[in-house]
């Protein structure tokens, strides 16, 4: 029986065939030529913040926890994140399981001036062009599901288009693949995407391995609940933190984000 990650990727392949018919690749390339936006260097933004560097995620729902965003408009959440110290935004664009949309990515670009990560289940070159056309500054590649050649090809295409890639790992084999393709931004996901289980010991185990390449930027993902979690993983060597559920479900999103960054100011925006 296929796990949830296999199921999502398989369904994404079917969906992508329909998307390509509605908006063929030549038309996507025209969109890229016409929008001509200036790409923000994600690595620079994630390193320059004097406070803790947070990639704040817009994730309306998950297949593991259900609906997270009930009332707020995703673009309003993007503004709140930007106003309260986020170094970058992660925007889910997968619709069936996560309730995301490329339109959220496109609209967020109009209102915030920090880098935007297109977070989706990317396996095809079309999706990289699509990320560039709709306003992404960098995009996600999941090493658990992609083989080394796929990672290398998609990473290279992104670089041609001016986009960097966050290569997400979950175990030692994933990390080796990230090293072999020359990743410069490496994520360690504490969540097992095949089951939804989250375990912070994943980052504790993999951070020392990731730091073998000193110039890489290391992002700790999933399961971060408190400022003490941030401080622990910073002390181990993590440079940035991708946080979604803890922010999306917070009573006051702005204050929760400031807590994570280490900023003691109280926000009046949610």
Tally of CB atoms within 10 A around 18 = 9
Catalytic residue among 84, 87, 90, 189: 189
Among residues 12, 43, 53, 59, which one is catalytic?
Answer: 59
Give the other-Cβ count within 10 Å of 264's Cβ. 7
Q: Is 48 exposed, middle or buried (0-12, 13-18, 19+ CB in 10 A)?
A: exposed
Choosing from 94, 130, 221, 245, the catalytic residue is: 221
Check if 57 is active-site. Answer: yes
Instruction: Please measure the distance between the N-terminal and C-terminal CA atoms of the chain and give it in whole angstroms.
Output: 41
Given the residues 164, 222, 240, 246, the one annotated as active site: 222
**Active site annotation includes 189:** yes
Residue 195 designated active-site: no
Active site residue 245: no
Q: Any catalytic annotation for residue 270?
A: no
Whether residue 204 contacts residue 235, with contact meaning beta carbons closer than 8 Å, is answered with: no
Q: Which of 12, 43, 107, 119 is catalytic?
A: 119
Q: Catalytic pick from 94, 106, 130, 168?
A: 168
* 256 catalytic per annotation: no
Tell me which of 43, 52, 53, 57 is the catalytic residue: 57
- 134 backbone dihedrals φ, ψ, rounded to 5°: -100, 10
11 is catalytic: no
**Is the CB of residue 61 less than 8 Å from the CB of residue 68?**
yes
Catalytic residue set: 57, 59, 119, 168, 189, 221-222
């Amino acid at each position: 029986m296929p796990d949830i990650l296999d199921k999502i990727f398989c369904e994404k392949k079917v969906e992508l065939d329909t998307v390509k018919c509605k908006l063929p690749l030549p038309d996507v390339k025209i969109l890229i030529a016409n929008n001509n936006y200036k790409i923000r260097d994600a690595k620079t933004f994630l390193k320059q913040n004097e406070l803790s560097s947070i990639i704040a995620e817009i994730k309306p729902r998950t297949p593991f926890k259900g609906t997270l965003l009930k009332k707020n408009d995703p673009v309003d959440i993007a503004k709140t994140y930007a106003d309260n110290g986020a170094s970058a935004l992660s925007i889910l664009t997968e619709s069936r399981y996560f309730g995301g949309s490329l339109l959220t990515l496109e609209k967020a670009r109009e209102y915030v001036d920090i880098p935007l990560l297109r977070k989706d289940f990317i396996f095809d070159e079309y999706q990289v062009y699509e990320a560039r056309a709709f306003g992404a500054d960098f995009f996600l590649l999941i090493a658990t599901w992609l083989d080394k050649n796929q990672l290398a090809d998609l990473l290279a295409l992104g670089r041609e288009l001016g986009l960097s890639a966050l290569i997400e790992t979950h175990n030692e084999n994933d990390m080796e693949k990230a090293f072999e393709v020359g990743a410069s931004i490496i994520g360690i996901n504490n969540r097992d995407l095949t089951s939804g289980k989250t375990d912070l010991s994943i980052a504790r185990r993999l951070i020392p391995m990731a730091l073998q390449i000193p110039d890489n930027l290391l992002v700790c993902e999933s399961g971060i609940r408190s400022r003490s979690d941030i401080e622990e993983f910073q002390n181990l060597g993590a440079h940035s933190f991708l946080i979604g559920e803890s922010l999306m479900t917070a009573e006051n999103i702005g204050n929760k984000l400031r807590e994570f960054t280490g900023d003691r100011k109280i926000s009046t925006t949610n």
